[in-house]
Amino acid sequence: MIERMLQALARHAHRPVKILPVVACVPGVDLWFLRFAFVFLAHLRQGGHIVDRLNGQCIGNPAGPSFNFDHVSGGPLLWAPDLAPFHHLFIGHTVCPGFGRISAQFDWWASTPFSAPGYDYLHDGINYGHVPVDLAPHAFVSVSVDDVDAAAWTDARQRMVLVYGDPVQHAVACFTNSRNPGRRPHAPSSGRAPMDWTFHEYLLKRALPSYAKIFISYQAMAQAVPGAVQILAEDALRADPARMLPALLSHLKLDRWQTAEIDAVADLCRREHVLAIERELGHSLTGSRGRGRKTTGSAPEAVVSAARDPNLRREALNSLASMGVNTAYFEAPPGAASLRRDAAAGGRV
């Protein structure tokens, strides 16, 4: 009995987390690119090394431990004591910490349900005494969500980042995913099956309100607590990770890194390298790993074509603006190639 208790204690951190740097994104953004960037950097900062599967180059300390992909399951917390002053950071989907205090300023917010589960990890009412952690000597940690929410208002060390994608692309991915026969709708949909929704209806009545709920929380907190929130476009991060990752890290006060490490991490996170690792391991490293989930395939061509319609895009942005979202963030429409690429991901989050 005592041995089992000691084993359980070893799997759980002793102190609850009260300040938690947050890197969040709306479902549909490539969360795993963000997670790999941070886990690779954390591993290098701890003296380890990673071998590039495509060119054989050893990145980091050759004498240090190699990277163990079995220690990366999606967190959502990451153990990074040599990178983060408070040892843990959050990478996932969540409403901005602290927003609950001002959410009533948006009369539609509380009465608008999310279209699917998983949008708001830190406020969904799960067991926060037992939150999974990647790369840690402990498997779980307690998170005091109330303290994290309070710190967003009172402690300058509590920083948040939102990485956002295009709202119409988000709708394409979620629409495709919702039509997966094995996926149950999270919110009431007037008794209609997902297959009965047109893309236009889904965009305006389900996808955009869910997108706005997340986005407005960070937008509002950025205005209420200047300096606490950074809002970053996924396209910008993808186009120039060697420049944008340092900006993101600096905002979070995670300054224990070197420029050469950032360049290496950006290279290691490229899609073809992650695919090479998956082929080597024989399983997926993305959100489908270990959860019995499968991607739903590419979006129907009619949906992709509709999403490229400038009139529909204008209608979508007007809808977001009516909910208070600053649509200046989305002024540059996505290219056809980008839309096709993200739609083909089949709603994987």
Top-confidence residue, 307 or 325: 325
Find where tokens 């989930």 sit.
293
CA geometry: angle 199, 201, 205, nearest 5 deg:
125
Per-residue model confidence (pLDDT) at position 58: 94
Number of domain units in the chain: 1
Is residue 20 over pLDDT 90? yes
In a domain, 83, yes or no: yes
In a domain, 15, yes or no: yes
Cα separation, 306 vs 210, in Å, equals 20
Q: Give the CA diameter of the chain.
A: 66
Task: Give the pLDDT band of residue 306 (cuts 50, 70, 90).
Answer: confident
Domain that residue 223 falls in: 2-168+214-295
Three-class SS state of 169? helix
In a domain, 185, yes or no: no
Average pLDDT for the chain: 83
Cα separation, 258 vs 297, in Å, equals 39
Q: How confident is the model over 180-226, as pLDDT tens digits? A: 655 555 555 555 666 778 899 999 999 999 999 999 999 999 999 99
Is residue 4 over pLDDT 50? no
In a domain, 138, yes or no: yes
Per-residue model confidence (pLDDT) at position 181: 56
In a domain, 191, yes or no: no
Peptide bond preceding 137 in cis form (omega within 30 of 0): no
Per-residue model confidence (pLDDT) at position 184: 54
Cβ contacts of 226 within 8 Å, gap of 6 or more: none
Strands 131-134 vs 140-141: parallel, antiparallel or unpaired: antiparallel
In a domain, 173, yes or no: no
pTM, entire model: 0.85
Q: How confident is the model over 241-271, as pLDDT tens digits? A: 888 988 999 999 887 677 888 888 888 988 8
DSSP summary character for residue 17: B
In a domain, 315, yes or no: no
Which stretch of 30-34, 138-142, 177-181, 185-189 has the lowest confidence by average pLDDT? 185-189
Which stretch of 116-130, 227-241, 251-265 has the lowest confidence by average pLDDT? 251-265
Question: For helices 31-45 and 259-268, what crossing angle results, to 10°?
Answer: 140
In a domain, 322, yes or no: no
For residue 294, the tally of other CB atoms under 10 A from its CB is 12
Cβ contacts of 92 within 8 Å, gap of 6 or more: 24, 25, 31, 74, 75, 76, 121
Cα separation, 151 vs 18, in Å, equals 8
Per-residue model confidence (pLDDT) at position 2: 36
Top-confidence residue, 298 or 104: 104
